[in-house]
A and B are shown apart, each in its own frame.
Chain A
């Protein structure tokens, strides 16, 4: 699929001057993780012990203004950069050493349903408990993340936490399907003749592989089969998310950890450019995943995130309070967490399920595919990912662009609180990175670019399923209409007055 463009026509980030040199360094990821771990320590300490006013606390600013902004930018211009630098994975290495880590993740849970539930929980908690207004709670969420990654991966094989649970990681997995870079092989022929597959098994003191005569990589030495127990020490991990590079396709489940790059003895794995969003309409058998069209759990995750983009933004505009108030009176409830929960269940699950069922039924009918609603939605639902991503980018970049410079006075104050007033008195008037008049046009641009890509993806999926011709066009129409409806909802949201009410922890 995404290997369709020839290797020579694709840019390889690993071959870029300086950046490529850095990324090829075996400890590049660790270096990035150490930086983010330092930032996480700042967030946690300031969140727990600093001033409990979010605009003046690193735990209020760094995660909710800068991290989300950089995540959106990273996914837009590169790929899953945050997972690459994920600080939660550093203590996990210690867990792998001191805890057994040999259990298989339960077969029942080898889907994305748990991740989807946790993502819902995360988004709900963000709104219901006003995490954005509470440095203290934000710090505890970060701490809980460290503990969860440590415990889960301490007891289970591989990167079970990343592959099956992490809500943030799954946000990246889905939205990086639209990104322009992927970790991929340079030459399929090399993988076809590779018998050792270090990209997934890892590199041990003794190579494990089966070496069939005449079936090994050119130039590599013959190797004998070696038993597991005789392999010796692990020198380099392979992919811990079980993505074999020979058949890996695209960014789903890829944390850009670069283990495969360092493990490959043939130097055949790179970080390659590709047409953004192409993998949404191609449906190869993907290593560690299978076919998108046969994974309703994956499609549900992608669709949930698409609709969540709009509901998450809805939680920040004035009309949400009118709806909450109406719902509260209707049900006789006053608890914000309960009302937000009901609103989110309606807006992120029930309403999307209804809209998707209608759309899938329409596309199955007009195209004569004869498929069930779930089968149809599992195939075509991917078309909505770009418009959802457009909304996430519009939303997160708004906060980043309007408050990006707030990090300067916050750092000044943080250092002053530590007794190190190295940067002078805080200049709290710093905030916007761009003039306010730029924001709406920029937000609309990202949203509408997402819509445009969604329309293209819908048509390409229809072509794949039905072949070129009028049936494909007919199947595209319902999905195109749903994408346009979402885009119109997004425009309405972007033009609403922002209003964020929440518990103020400061006193």
Chain B
């Protein structure tokens, strides 16, 4: 399976962003019925990860409408799709999150 993750807007800002995940088989056909979860970690230790579950929005298309980036900086997003038969696909995407500024976050 091929799992792809896109972020809107790009680059995302601190606050909510839309994550669009597409799941296809090796022939390019959409894969349905998957549980799709996303975990976002900052690339430095000590910050609690942000997690969310994407909802089906079309054939092989899953969307997480409000994935909330809590801080500016480098993030690593890991999306995992699990099919009812236990098959799993995973992808990882790095992104820089920019302001708007949140005061008092040294």
Task: State the A residues within 8 Å of B (CB).
Answer: 53-57, 60-61, 64-65, 130, 132-133, 313, 316-318, 394-395, 398-399, 402-404, 406, 410, 428-432, 439-440, 443, 493-502, 504, 506-507
Contact = CB atoms under 8 A, between A and B. Distances in A.
Nearest to B41: A55
B45 A54 contact: yes
B57 interface: no
A64 B46 CA distance: 9
Contact of B92 (A429, A493, A502, A506): A506
Contacts of A394: 106
A402 B45 CA distance: 10
B29 to A, nearest CB: 27
Interface of B: 14, 39, 41-49, 71-74, 76, 92, 94, 96, 99, 101-106
Contact of A499 (B39, B48, B73, B103): B73
B45 A132 contact: yes
Contact of B101 (A493, A496, A501): A496
A501 B92 contact: no
Given A496-B106, A504-B43, 13 more contacts: A54-B43, A55-B43, A55-B46, A57-B45, A313-B106, A395-B106, A402-B46, A404-B46, A431-B46, A499-B99, A500-B42, A500-B74, A506-B43
B43 to A, nearest CB: 4
Contacts of B106: 313, 316-317, 394-395, 398, 443, 493-496, 498
B42 A56 contact: no
Contact of B105 (A60, A497, A502): A497
B67 to A, nearest CB: 16
Given A54-B45, A64-B44, A406-B46, A498 B94 contact: no
A412 to B, nearest CB: 14
| A133, A430, A501 interface centre (most CB from chain B within 10 Å) | A501
6 contacts: A64-B44, A313-B106, A402-B46, A403-B46, A500-B73, A506-B92
A34 B39 CA distance: 36
Tell me if B's interface is mostly helix, strand, loop or mixed. loop
Closest 6 CB pairs of A and B: A403-B46, A499-B72, A498-B105, A431-B48, A497-B101, A60-B45
B95 to A, nearest CB: 9
Given A500-B74, A501-B73, A403 B47 contact: yes
B72 A506 contact: no
Nearest to A490: B106
B44 A55 contact: yes
Nearest to A132: B44
A493 B105 CA distance: 9
A394 B106 CA distance: 9
Given A55-B41, A498-B72, A440 B47 contact: no
B76 A53 contact: yes
A443 B106 CA distance: 9
A506 B94 CA distance: 9
B73 to A, nearest CB: 4
Nearest to B104: A440
A405 B19 CA distance: 28
A431 B99 contact: no
Contacts of B103: 495-497
B105 A496 contact: yes
A431 B47 contact: yes
Nearest to A57: B45
A367 B46 CA distance: 48
A402 to B, nearest CB: 6
A428 B45 contact: no
Contacts of A429: 48-49
B49 A133 contact: no
A30 to B, nearest CB: 29
Contact of A406 (B14, B45, B92): B45
Contact of B49 (A55, A316, A496, A507): A55
Contacts of A57: 45
A317 B101 CA distance: 10
| B43, B46, B49, B72 interface centre (most CB from chain A within 10 Å) | B46
B52 to A, nearest CB: 13
| A133, A410, A497 interface centre (most CB from chain B within 10 Å) | A497
B50 to A, nearest CB: 10
B44 A133 contact: yes
Given A318-B101, A496-B106, A501-B96, A61 B46 contact: yes
A133 B46 contact: no
Contacts of A402: 46-47
Nearest to A131: B44
Nearest to B39: A428
